[in-house]
Amino acid sequence: MIKDIINPIIKIKSDIETLNQLREFSEDSLDEGLKSEFESLYKETEKNIKEQETLTYLSGKFDNNASIFEIHAGAGGTESCDWAMMLSRMYTKYFNKKGYTYELIDEQQGEEVGIKSITYIVRGTFSYGYLKNEKGVHRLVRLSPFDSNNRRHTSFAAVDVIPEFDENVDVEIKDADIRIDVYRSSGAGGQGVNTTDSAVRVTHIPTGIVVTCQNERSQIKNKETALKVLKSKLYQIKIKEQQDKINSIKSDHSGIEFGSQIRSYVLHPYSMIKDHRTGYETSNVNKVLDGDLDGFIESNLKGEK
């Protein structure tokens, strides 16, 4: 962890020294190879400095925690389930670009295509810090591939992000407050998962929070993971110290609709993705949907600070 923070700074310092040495030569004395090396190193160093600047905004108490990252399809059936799947693809590509590891702990597939919901645990340097502002409703406008008349459709999906807390947090979960159901896994995972009642659903009765886990073949391991996620959600409520904040932790997905979105992804009649909180926008929608979220995330971090 410390090396992940210090090593990039050491590299920047070394690269700046190299650039200063190259500056001492006149342009005429540099061959094309050195000129190309200078330009390439300059752009790389500029990018690395920008990344280090972004890290200065990650000073929150839980910013370096792992994240419990959820995507939920809104109303709209096939359209919204497909949009939730597109978001899942976008974010996993972003995780890969950041060098994060992620574990799929639950997936509820759509009736025809896509997903109704999906949950990951995302681990890596400042995972929660980078992802926390992605929480909210995401709106898609496009020509529907499922409409035989090729009409324009609007779809919604919600993203939830909370920090994962270690097992030592001061949260007591009473046996009387939870209901545990086991059922047959409906997601990927091989024959052993799909033919045994290994999936676990934990309901916290006082708050109504429901956590499911079905990624492991073992019912015991799925139960342990689900309880850990539940504990993180309850602790998040506790540290906010206001019971009326509970819906922001649970995310009332009945409100995934027009007017509540944090970001719009418009693919037709023009191409534009815009964050409604910061005003940051880009017309390169394919690049964003392939996981290039740095501009949106950095603008939100700076605005939050």
* SS3 of residue 234 by DSSP: helix
Percent of the chain with pLDDT over 90: 63
192 has a pLDDT exceeding 60: no
Quick check: 38 and 30 in contact, CB under 8 A? yes
Distance (Å, rounded) from C-alpha 47 to C-alpha 6? 16
Q: Where along the chain do its domains lie?
A: 2-55, 67-166+253-304, 175-245
Among 122, 152, 120, which residue's Cα sits nearest to residue 139? 152
Mean pLDDT throughout 156-165?
A: 94
Q: Where is average pLDDT lowest: 127-131, 215-219, 249-253?
A: 249-253
CA distances (Å), 222 to each of 17, 94, 104, 203, 213, in order?
Answer: 52, 26, 12, 14, 5
The class that CATH gives domain 175-245 is alpha beta
CB proximity list for 163: less than 8 A, separation 6 or greater: 62, 65, 66, 67, 68, 128, 132, 232, 236
pLDDT tens profile 55-65: 889 988 899 99
Which token pair is 166?
């270690």
Among 98, 47, 136, 117, which residue's Cα sits nearest to residue 293? 98
Quick check: 139 and 112 in contact, CB under 8 A? no
Among 171, 167, 161, which residue's Cα sits nearest to residue 67? 161
Amino acid at residue number 79: E
- 37 pLDDT tier (thresholds 50, 70, 90): confident
Question: Residue with structure tokens 């992605």?
Answer: 134
pLDDT tens profile 242-291: 445 445 555 555 566 655 799 999 999 999 999 999 999 999 999 999 99
CATH number listed for the domain at residues 67-166+253-304? 3.30.70.1660
The predicted structure's pLDDT at residue 256: 66
Give one DSSP letter per residue of 83-137, joined into a string.
HHHHHHHHHHHHHHHHT-EEEEEEEEE-SSSSEEEEEEEEESTTHHHHHGGG-EE
